[in-house]
Amino acid sequence: MRRVIVGVVLAAVGFACVLFPWTFNLLVLVIALFCLYELNALCEVKGQPLEYPVAVLGVFAYALFASLGTLHKWEGVLVAGIVLAALAIGMYGEEPGYFARTANTLLAVLYIGKLLTYFIFIRQIPGVGIVWTIYAIVLIALSDIFAMCIGTLVGRHQLTRISPKKTIEGSVGSLVAVTAIAAAGTLIPQLHLQLWQGAVIGVLTNVAAQAGDLVESALKRDAGVKDAGSVIQGHGGMLDRFDSYLFGGTVFFASLHVIGILRIQ
């Protein structure tokens, strides 16, 4: 019951923040910084912590440039700056693991900062950003819910050793259910979608969301921990709760280009 209540509260806060661009962008930044903190903790367990101040500034810069609509102009400089700063500051740390700390710092910024900015891009779609953002969040959330519920009810075959509790039945059931719901979502006139377009979005987003969940499970397994954190009661950490959104939001945005809704400038 506690897990359900916390989930409902989080959903209410998230949907409320979607209504205004600045509140939603701030929410994305807060989630990103919490996820980065937990990822750094996982790296510390492995003895290879990030150059944390550099990573924080990198994630903040990604969210800021995306919010201002200038990321496409400055991303190359931003990535170069992260690499240079991590290499420079890393020289003052311990010599063992110097290269790994720098590489992990860049990867962390791209994994969390870069991928979460795609939700900001979705929210910025002129005229229909709110509807598209809610559509994306609902599909990704349902991907987790259906995989868990169907897997618990009828799951018999393990999907992967990385996450022993996930089952093939839960994964396939989630894919079918979310694809059907995404296709049904085409009845919402503000989305301006055809049935096949909704189905494509559902398939791609669901597969990406499940992949994001598995990647985070691999990170935890590598560090030998059960949860990335404990900030959300009944759900673990922020990274545990939003791992599916990292991949899901990115691929959802890409799928809008695939089906011709958005055009590459």
Q: Residues 200-211, buried b or exposed e (16+ Cβ, 10 A)?
A: bbbbbbbbbbbb
The 10 Å Cβ neighbour count of residue 94 is 9
pTM for the whole structure = 0.92
Confidence tier at 228 by pLDDT (50, 70, 90): confident
**Angle between the 129-154 and 115-123 helix axes, to the nearest 10 degrees?**
130
Looking at per-residue pLDDT, the higher value among 131 and 227 belongs to 131
Q: Which amino acid is at 262?
A: L
Q: Does residue 18 register a pLDDT over 90? A: yes
Per-residue pLDDT tens digits for 65-84: 999 999 999 999 999 999 99
